[in-house]
Amino acid sequence: MSLKISLVYHYLIHVISVCIFLIPLLLVEASQTKHEDAYELWHHHIIKHHLVAIISFVGVIVFGLTVYMRKRSRTIYLVDFACYRPPSHLQVSSEIYFRDIKRVYSLNESSAEFQRRILERSGLGEETCLPEGLHATPPNRSLEIARKETEQVMFGALDDLFSATNAKPQEIGILVVNCSLFNPTPSLSDVIINKYKLQSNIKSFDLGGMGCSAGVIAVDLAKGLLQVHQNTCAIVLSTENLTLRAYFGDNKSMMVTNCLFRVGGAAILLSNRNQYKRQAKYKLVHTVRTHHGSDDEAYNCVHQHEDDAGKLGVSLSKTLMPVAGLALKTNIATLGPLVLPLCEQLRFLITMVSKKIFNNLKTKTYIPDFKFAFEHFCIHAGGRGIIDEMEKNLKLSRIHVEASRMTLHRFGNTSSSSIWYELAYMEAKGRMRKNDRVWQIALGSGFKCNSAVWVALKNVKPSSLHDSKKGNPWKDCIHKYPVELRV
């Protein structure tokens, strides 16, 4: 349909261009015509009425089509994605963690016990992975080891993605990499360009310091670029580095991150090419970003700084959950009108009017039922508390948060890539049907809440490769899930 409209548009422009070219000839001819004859000609019924009507009609069509061609957005296809699967020798069970925590981290008894309690309640299982540098005794936190960790994750995910899609690295015109706490020189996007010999005119970007919600921000950036650049492929690479992120001090607000974050990353192939319409799994419908950075409490609730002993870490304040709840409400207030049925929007509007106009403080703000808008929810696996809060606030059922809880259990908090492990879980379970709607929700420092909405273009099957160790990260263990979690 778009192609036909485009052809009509260009045909009309061509006709008008020819008419404009003929105007000087008509003026010359008119200059040689007597005034009396020209007057009679103009007042002739056919020319006077029909010519004006035709010109007006053509003008309206051209104007309308011009506005349409400028305003219409291109469809963004999610061709496929790949999640990095760390090797089994990097797994760290509770027993290993407890055994090494005092010896490796040089912690006192109180700090070690605190981390033990946090880990027990975290929702993490026995197969999550830490990088090689943190398995060493003493831990190796050199820049070389940090680079090695990130390169293994990025290259592992990208190799799987290129194999699954048969896309050529030279086809990639846009590259967006997000890693919050590791931003070396040359940049991570430069590392990828060098490894895969990407084209010299590629538009590459690195997003740093944007926390666990940066994956959606990276998708939103790629979406904007794909709206401008035609016939293009984009790769989004989301990861985090733990080698340099680990905290070795006694500040309890900084210790929590040691218990939650684990190795992981995801590579996503997006495109606006029509040739990918049949191959693509999903299309991008909406991205909504909300930011509470102007509020000091929200800004400081996740903060990287040095403790009293000069040891660097990321602190999580006790106000994190209330801040996250407020950020979520702001985000869904923006997203709601785009996705909710009219009945849910009206109920939300009525409660808002009741509170504002009638000053009825007892009336609780109605939280719309997003189960009417989405079949699947990918809630950032930031921790058990975050998932519990999301489940409660959005009135979700156990199955709606299953992918988030199982991702946290199997892979831990992999930061901005966790929502992709969750989507892979749903695919591995065979739950993704044609026209199903997916809501990815991510929270991050700053404080930010970001959403991405996708629609399945077919009954999605999990990605599979000939190598049994590659493909969907759940494929050799999905039969064990869901598992019962400790209360």
413 belongs to the catalytic site: yes
Question: Do 178 and 210 form a contact (C-beta atoms < 8 A)?
Answer: yes
Please confirm, yes or no, whether 466 is among the known catalytic residues: no
Active-site residue among 83, 233, 258, 291? 291
CB atoms within 10 A of CB 360: 12
Q: Which residues contact 454 (CB under 8 A, 6 or more apart)?
A: 78, 282, 283, 284, 285, 437, 438, 440
Q: Is 267 in contact with 219 (CB distance < 8 Å)?
A: no
360 is catalytic: no
Backbone angles phi, psi at 107, to 5 degrees: -100, 155
Structural tokens at position 171: 């086809």
Question: Do the beta carbons of residue 292 and residue 323 sit within 8 Å?
Answer: yes
- Marked catalytic residue, from 178, 259, 301, 409: 409
Catalytic residue among 129, 179, 212, 259: 212
Q: Let me know if 376 is a catalytic residue.
A: yes
Which residues is 442 bridged to in the sheet? 450
Q: Which of 178, 259, 301, 376 is catalytic?
A: 376
Of 342, 486, 487, 462, whose CA–CA distance to 80 is shortest?
Answer: 462
In this structure, which amino acid lies at residue 105?
Y
Closest by Cα among 465, 82, 453, 437 to 238 = 82
> What is the separation, in whole angstroms, between the first and last Cα of the chain?
54
The position carrying tokens 């931003």 is: 183
Cβ atoms of 404 and 387 closer than 8 Å: yes
With tokens 């050199």, the residue in question is: 142
Active-site entry in 258, 331, 413, 450: 413
Residues marked active site are found at 212, 291, 376, 380, 409, 413
